[in-house]
């Protein structure tokens, strides 16, 4: 199972390879997320529900038979993409065809990154039946932690307040064995880094397929979940927590390269593809079509967790 960056090394078409490399460069998720290639439009797997029993036995006695149970789950692939046009007038006015079409494709790649990252956290098939459920909808019970009844500031007024926040962050990390990434919005990330600097706890870690250098806490990368095209945060600072309406969430994620890793794994039929449709009959433009068939699976029950009620104060 490879990440998209690792897949890109195997792509023969230079246009498609460039598209994938741009996606990975722009994304703090698709840089890390292993993608499992599957055949068809869905993936079925067994999720452990209860363990079998074991016991001590006496000499010459038998064990009582006990078999664990599993729940069968199905994850569906989605269709993500769009058409990228370059008006021929731009070429007539001296534009370079390769350059102009590359610029258009880079824009499409960035748009795909934003859409995927937004869906990774906020996706809800009840709202958009053509998408997939994100972590916010998938995480329940012990995997969702309230920082405090009415929200908790990250920096606070003193070191005691900052230590209280780190206590909750440590609790979040404990809910995801092998946690590799902490995702938050840009404002909360700045507050977390400020708190860690004040307590002399800032670290750096190399991570992802591109081995980017990221600030870290306890060896875990602190990553910006990103912004939408309109500049709003993918993880907004407008969640309600008790009496507060200006809270946000931090997500802890472990990425898995197999079901046995019990982490968060991407699904795909293949890396994103690019088809050159040439000049259109309907208008004087050259068109590329970009298409990708992604999905998401959270194996086990502890591949991710959410700390909600985080205040940018």
SS3 assignment for 66-121: CCCEEEEEEEECCCEEEEEEEEHHHHHCCCCHHHHHHHHHHHHHHHHHHHHHHHHH
Tell whether the model's pLDDT for residue 209 goes beyond 80.
no
Task: Say whether both 294 and 307 belong to one domain.
Answer: no
**pLDDT-derived band at 229, boundaries 50, 70, 90:** very high
Cα–Cα distance measured from residue 210 to residue 268, given in angstroms and rounded to the nearest whole number: 20
Task: Say whether both 213 and 163 belong to one domain.
Answer: yes
Task: Say whether both 7 and 111 belong to one domain.
Answer: yes
User: If we measure between CA atoms, which residue out of 136, 125, 77, 127 comes closest to residue 291?
Assistant: 77
| 175 within a domain of the structure (yes/no) | yes
Task: Say whether both 253 and 267 belong to one domain.
Answer: no
Task: Say whether both 175 and 220 belong to one domain.
Answer: yes
Mean pLDDT of all residues in 109-137: 97
Task: Say whether both 236 and 222 belong to one domain.
Answer: yes
Q: What is the pLDDT of residues 67-118, one digit of tens each?
A: 887 677 889 999 999 999 999 999 889 888 889 999 999 999 999 999 999 9
CB atoms within 10 A of CB 128: 11
User: If we measure between CA atoms, which residue out of 124, 118, 130 comes closest to residue 76?
Assistant: 130
| 21 within a domain of the structure (yes/no) | yes
**pLDDT-derived band at 257, boundaries 50, 70, 90:** confident
Tell whether the model's pLDDT for residue 135 goes beyond 70.
yes
The whole-number pLDDT of residue 37 equals 93
| 115 within a domain of the structure (yes/no) | yes
Q: Quick one: residue 231, left, alpha or beta (phi over 0 = left, psi -120 to 50 = alpha)? A: left
| 66 within a domain of the structure (yes/no) | no
**pLDDT-derived band at 204, boundaries 50, 70, 90:** very high
Cα–Cα distance measured from residue 182 to residue 154, given in angstroms and rounded to the nearest whole number: 14
- CATH classification of the domain holding 144: 3.30.1930.10
Mean pLDDT of all residues in 292-310: 94
Q: What is the mean pLDDT of the chain?
A: 93
| 32 within a domain of the structure (yes/no) | yes
**pLDDT-derived band at 49, boundaries 50, 70, 90:** low
| 34 within a domain of the structure (yes/no) | yes
Task: Say whether both 251 and 112 belong to one domain.
Answer: no
| 98 within a domain of the structure (yes/no) | yes
Task: Say whether both 144 and 32 belong to one domain.
Answer: no
For 198, the domain range is: 137-258+302-311
| 64 within a domain of the structure (yes/no) | no
- CATH classification of the domain holding 41: 3.30.2400.20
Whether residue 224 contacts residue 184, with contact meaning beta carbons closer than 8 Å, is answered with yes
State the DSSP H helix or E strand holding residue 138, giving kind and residue range, or none if neither.
Answer: helix 135-138
Structure-block tokens of residue 99: 């350059």
Overall domain count for the chain: 2
Half-sphere exposure of 102 (CA within 13 A, CB side): 11
Task: Say whether both 243 and 228 belong to one domain.
Answer: yes
Task: Say whether both 293 and 227 belong to one domain.
Answer: no
The whole-number pLDDT of residue 259 equals 80
**pLDDT-derived band at 52, boundaries 50, 70, 90:** confident
The whole-number pLDDT of residue 261 equals 87
The neighbouring-strand residues paired with 247 are 239, 311
Task: Say whether both 159 and 38 belong to one domain.
Answer: no
Task: Say whether both 142 and 45 belong to one domain.
Answer: no
Q: What is the pLDDT of residues 142-181, one digit of tens each?
A: 999 999 999 999 999 999 999 999 999 999 999 999 999 9
């Amino acid at each position: 199972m490879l990440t998209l960056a690792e897949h890109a090394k195997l792509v023969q078409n230079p246009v498609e390879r460039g598209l994938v490399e741009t996606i990975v460069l722009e994304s703090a998720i698709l840089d890390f997320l292993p993608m499992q290639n599957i055949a068809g439009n869905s993936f079925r797997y067994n999720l452990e529900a209860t363990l079998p029993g074991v016991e001590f036995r006496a000499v010459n006695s038998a064990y009582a038979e006990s078999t664990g149970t599993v729940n069968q789950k199905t994850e569906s692939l989605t269709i993500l993409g769009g058409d990228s046009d370059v008006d021929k007038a731009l070429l007539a006015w001296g534009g370079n065809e390769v350059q102009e079409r590359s610029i258009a494709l880079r824009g499409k790649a960035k748009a795909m990154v934003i859409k995927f990252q937004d869906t990774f956290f906020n996706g809800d098939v009840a709202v958009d039946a053509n998408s997939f459920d994100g972590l916010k909808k998938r995480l329940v019970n012990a995997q969702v932690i309230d920082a405090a009844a009415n929200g908790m500031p990250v920096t606070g007024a003193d070191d005691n307040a900052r230590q209280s926040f780190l206590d909750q962050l440590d609790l979040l990390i404990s809910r995801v064995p092998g946690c590799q990434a902490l995702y938050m919005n840009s404002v909360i990330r700045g507050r977390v880094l400020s708190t860690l600097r004040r307590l002399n706890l800032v670290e750096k870690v190399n991570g992802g397929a591109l081995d980017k250098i990221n600030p870290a806490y306890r060896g875990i990368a602190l990553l910006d979940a990103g912004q939408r095209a309109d500049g709003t945060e993918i993880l907004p600072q407008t969640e309600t927590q008790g009496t507060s309406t200006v809270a946000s969430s931090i997500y802890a994620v472990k990425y898995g390269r197999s079901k046995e890793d019990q982490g968060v794994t991407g699904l795909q039929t293949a890396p994103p593809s690019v088809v050159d449709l040439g000049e259109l009959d309907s208008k004087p433009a050259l068109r590329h079509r970009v298409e990708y068939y992604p999905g998401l699976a959270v194996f086990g029950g502890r591949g991710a967790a959410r700390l909600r009620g985080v205040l940018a104060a």
